[in-house]
């Protein structure tokens, strides 16, 4: 009796589909990441003017999210994993930005 109810409970949230992409798609994503890295490195040789910092930061975020979503399967996995990981990430960003702000770190930059 108790095993039957356990199974019901388990299927309530269970994601059946086997997630992930094909190996070819992984290679495509890796190529995109490589291209983004090339743009990043090019900022060292070419003057991007006022777009320098925003370009680098945006590229960094895109690369980060791409690896997390596709290589780490977070996009296809249960949302609980995303909540657990992004909770830590966002908390870290918030707390440490607050910490640097008390040192007037961002004022010096701007």
Partner 1 sequence: MAESAIAHDHGVSHGAHASSTGLSNNKMGMWMFLGSECLLFGGLISTYMLYRGRVSSGPQPNNIFDIPFTSVSSFILLMSSLTMVLAVSSAQRKDDRNTNLWLTITALLGATFVGGQVYEFTAFYREGLGFTTSLFGSSFYALTGFHGVHVSVGIIMLMALVGMNRNNRIPGDKAEVVELIGLYWHFVDIIWIIIFTLVYLIPS
Partner 2 sequence: MTIIERPSTEVAIAGAVPVGVKPSEALGVFKRPAASSSWRDWVVTVDHKKLGIMYGVAAFVFFLIGGVEALLIRLQLIAPDGKVLNADQYNQMFTMHATTMVFLFVMPMAAAFANYFVPLQIGARDVAFPRINAFGFWCFLFGGLFLNSSWFLGGGADGGWFMYAPNSSTLFSPSHGVDFWTLGLQITGIASLTGAINLIVTILNMRAPGMKMMRMPIFTWMVLVTQFLLLFAIPVITVALFLLTFQRSFDATFFDVASGADPLLWQHLFWIFGHPEVYILILPSFGIISEVIPVFSKKPLFGYPVVAMSGAAIGFVGWGVWAHHMFASGLGPVSVTVFSMSTMAIAVPTGVKIVNWIMTMWGGKLTFAVPMLFAIGLVTQFTIGGLSGVTHAVAPSDTQQTDTYYIVAHFHYVLFGGAVFGLFAGFYYWWPKMFGRQLSESIGKWNFWLMVIGMNMTFGPMHILGLQGQPRRMFVWTEARAGEGLFNFGFWNRISSIGSFILSIGILLFIINIFYTHKMKKGALASNDPWDARTLEWMTDSPPKEHNFDVIPQINHLDEFFHRKYEQDSATHSVTQVHSADEVMAELNAHPDEHIHMPSRSYWPILLALSLPVIGYGLIYNRMLMAVGVAMVLLTMFGWAMEPATSPDEDFDPPESGDTHAKELVPHG
Among 1, 17, 23, 110, binds partner 1 (CB under 8 A): 23
Q: How many Å apart are CA 44 and CA 90, to the nearest integer?
A: 29
User: Nearest to residue 68, comparing CAs of 53, 54, 81?
Assistant: 81
Token duo for residue 110: 């701007």
Is residue 46 near partner 1 by the rule CB under 8 A? Answer: no
- Which residues from 53-82 bind partner 2, rule CB under 8 A? 80
Binding mask 47-86 for partner 1 (x = CB under 8 A): ------x--xx-xx--xx--xx-xxxx----x-xx--xxx
DSSP code of 104?
Answer: T
């Amino acid at each position: 009796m108790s095993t039957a109810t356990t199974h019901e409970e388990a299927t309530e949230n269970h994601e059946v589909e086997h997630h992930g992409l094909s190996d070819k798609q992984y290679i495509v994503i890796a190529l995109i990441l490589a291209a983004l890295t090339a743009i990043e490195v090019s900022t060292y040789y070419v003057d991007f003017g006022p777009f320098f910092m925003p370009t680098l930061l945006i590229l960094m975020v895109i690369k980060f999210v791409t690896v997390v979503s596709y290589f780490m399967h977070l996009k296809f996995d249960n949302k609980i994993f995303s909540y657990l990981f992004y909770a830590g990430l966002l908390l870290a960003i918030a707390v440490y930005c607050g910490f640097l702000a008390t040192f007037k770190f961002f004022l010096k930059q701007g």
